[in-house]
Amino acid sequence: MRRVLAGTVIAVCLASTANASSWLETGREGLELCAENLKDKRAVQTAMDQAGWRYEGSEGTVKGYSKDGRRIIVIHGEWHPRKLACGIMVRKMTPDQAIEMAKAFLPNIADAKSSKRSKPDSIAEWTGRFQGVAVRLAATREGNIGINHGAAVVLTEE
């Protein structure tokens, strides 16, 4: 009985790890889709729709998209006046996983340099140029939008 129980626990843990890895990969893909179209709100919406993301609604100029039952959220819009941003949150993503996701995106940023934190909840930040625009990439401790809690990765125009 103990062997069966131990085997079940191991199988559940491995499945959970595999799901988490898949969710993080989907989150990274969502960030890339959003970022590729950063300057064009309609292009972001079209790209997200075509990739199977669900439109969740908007608040002001920020639109939200989800996948996997709202486990993965991408947000796009103006977070600061006249500065567009893309953000990704994966439910229960750890700060270390957010840093890993941000570092995976860094090769897309020309002249990327580590930067001092601009906000208290940031755990790592980089600046550089993306598609000819000055940007800041940040991994944050907590991206809390009510339907999803976890660390986040945000790409913002400077």
Residues 91, 18: Cα–Cα separation, whole Å: 15
| Domain extent at residue 48 | 2-157
Total-model pTM: 0.82
* pLDDT value, residue 79: 78
Q: In this predicted structure, what is the pLDDT of residue 69?
A: 86
Strand 133-140 relative to strand 122-130, pairing? antiparallel
Q: How many domains does the chain have?
A: 1
Band of the pLDDT at 146, cuts 50, 70, 90?
Answer: low
So what's the pLDDT on residue 21? 77
49-103 pLDDT, tens digit each: 999 999 999 988 899 999 988 888 899 998 777 889 999 998 889 999 999 999 9
- In tens, the pLDDT along 1-58 reads 434 333 333 333 223 344 667 888 899 899 999 999 999 989 999 999 999 999 999 9
